[in-house]
């Protein structure tokens, strides 16, 4: 394995500051871009709590510190998303928003591609309605 491939994505993204910047851009885009309005509408008016939770979760998911689990225990992500109707359109908006955030932050394209595939698996597993 090359050195880059052996380094956890958390480190390659720049540690906590890099992950926080990615999450902040993700939610800023969700607020700004009409293409993500459907996704935005599922979220609370105030996004501060959402930003913190996704930041804590992604730190661990990307191979860094387990902030989310330390605070909330097992993520049970699919169960936690059941209150929101998630189909293909919602999944695809989430992924497009995250891919745009990675691009805008200048994440290495090979890493962004690998992460996009992993995000797809998680987002697809969250679907809980047809269509
Ligand atoms: C598939 C499309 C998705 C939609 C529509 C969606 C939507 C949402 C919404 C509406 C919330 C509640 C926000 C809040 O309470 O402030 C949420 C929470 C959360 N989402 Fe997603 N999400 C999706 C995919 C994902 C993916 C792929 C991940 C992780 C890679 C993720 C991670 C989280 C986390 C960690 C929380 C906080 C859970 C909690 O502790 O309450 N979501 N999501």
Do 66 and 23 meet the contact criterion of CB atoms below 8 Å apart? no
Q: How far apart are the C-alpha atoms of 71 and 67, rounded to whole Å? A: 6
Query: Residues 6 or more apart from 75 whose CB is under 8 A from it?
Result: 57, 68, 69
Per-residue pLDDT tens digits for 74-90: 999 999 999 999 999 99
Other CB atoms within 10 Å distance of the CB of residue 4? 10
Ligand 1 centroid–CA 1 distance in Å is 32
What global pTM score does this model have?
0.95
The atom number, within ligand 1, closest to the CA of 56 reads: 35
Ligand 1: residues with CB < 6 A are 39, 42-44, 49-50, 53-54, 57, 72, 77, 80-81, 84, 86, 90-91, 94, 119, 122-123, 126
Q: Is 14 helix (H, G, I), strand (E, B) or coil?
A: coil
The one-digit pLDDT tens for each residue of the chain (131 residues) are 566 668 999 999 999 999 999 999 999 999 999 999 999 999 999 999 999 999 999 999 999 999 999 999 999 999 999 999 999 999 999 999 999 999 999 999 999 999 999 999 999 999 999 87
Candidate from 48, 77, 131 with most ligand 1 atoms within 8 A of CB, to mutate: 77
Other CB atoms within 10 Å distance of the CB of residue 68? 21
């Amino acid at each position: 394995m090359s050195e880059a491939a052996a380094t956890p994505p958390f480190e390659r993204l720049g540690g906590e500051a890099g992950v926080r910047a990615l999450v902040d851009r993700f939610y800023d885009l969700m607020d700004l871009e009409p293409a993500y309005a459907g996704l935005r509408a599922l979220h609370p008016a105030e996004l501060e709590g959402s930003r913190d939770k996704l930041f804590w979760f992604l730190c661990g998911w990307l191979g860094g510190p387990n902030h989310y689990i330390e605070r909330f225990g097992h993520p049970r992500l699919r169960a936690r998303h059941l209150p929101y109707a998630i189909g293909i359109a919602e999944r695809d908006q989430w992924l497009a928003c995250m891919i745009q955030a990675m691009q805008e932050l200048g994440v290495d394209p090979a890493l962004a591609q690998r992460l996009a595939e992993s995000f797809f698996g998680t987002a697809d597993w969250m679907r809980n309605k047809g269509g």
